[in-house]
Structure 1
Amino acid sequence: MSFITSASPQTNLKFQGPIENILRPVRQWLESIEIQDSKVAKLLCKLIPSQCPFERDIQVFGRTLFHIPPMCKLNPVYDQLMMLRFRALTFLADVCGEDITQYCC
C-alpha cells in the first residue's frame, strides 16, 4: 500500500506558511499508519465517517428552513483521514476477507 501513501502528501496543500508547518507532521503521521490488525481496521472504519456528519436539512413542522452544507473539506487533514479509512476498508476486504458493506454509508 505504499503507493497510496506516497502519492497523497502534495494533494491537499491548501495552507501555506506557519499553518502548513504545524499540520505537515500530523498529515505525515496519518499517512504513515499501516493497518495490520483487523480490530484496529474495524475501529478506524467506525470512527471515521464515510460521509460528512455535519451536512443536514433543518426542518420545522415538515418544512425545510435551511440546509447546512458538508463542511468536511474545510478540515485540513480530511484527505489523509479518508485515505486512512480506505486503507482500513481495503485491509478488511482483501487481507481478512470480510464483508465491508456494514461500513459503507
Structure 2
Amino acid sequence: MNVMFRRSKTSSRFKITRLPLMIAKPVKKGLTIIRHWFDAIEIRDRKLARFLCKVIPVQCPFERDIQFFGRTLAHIPPLCKLNPFYDQLAYLRFRALCYLVEQCGESYQ
C-alpha cells in the first residue's frame, strides 16, 4: 500500500492519503529495471568476483543483540529485507562465489 502524508490547508494536522498511481508506477518500474540490471551482470573476471565477495556482506550487518551483564535487553532485527535489491545482491554474491570455486579453483571465506 502506497501511503503519503499531506498537510491540510485548513489545519496543521496531517492527513494520510494514498500515493497517486502516476507516482507509484514509475517508481516500481524503475526498481524493476535496476533488479534486472543486477541479474544481468555476468561474472567473467576473477578480480570482479573477489571484489563482489568482499563488498557484499554474507549476512546482514545491522542485526544486533543489546546485552547488559550477559542478559539480552533488546534485539534489533535484520534490516536487509527492507532493501528492495537484497535478493539480487545476495544472488550476485552467490554467483561470484560459484565463479571463484568452479572456474578459478579458489575458495573464498
| Percent identity for Structure 1 against Structure 2 | 62
Divergent runs of 4+, >6 A: none
State which structure, 1 or 2, has the greater radius of gyration over its C-alpha atoms: 2
Q: Within 5 Å, which residues of 2 pair with 1:1-105? A: 17-100=25-108, 102=109
More helix by share: 1
Structure (1/2) with the larger strand percentage: 2
Report how far residue 95 of structure 1 moved.
0.3
TM-score calculated relative to the size of structure 1: 0.75
The count of aligned residue pairs is 86
Q: Give the C-alpha shift of residue 69 in structure 1.
A: 0.7
Please state whether the residue corresponding to 2:74 is helix, strand or coil. strand
Report the CA distance between 1:29 and its aligned residue. 1.2
Shift of 1:67: 0.1
Query: What is the CA-CA distance between 1:50 and the residue it aligns to?
Result: 1.1
Gaps in structure 2 of 5+ consecutive residues: 1-23
Instruction: Supply the AA of the counterpart residue of 2:69.
Output: F
2: CA distance, partners of 1:19 / 1:57? 34
Higher relative contact order (CA 8 A, sep 6+): 1
Superposed CA RMSD: 1.4
Q: In structure 2, the residue corresponding to 1:64 is in which secondary structure?
A: strand
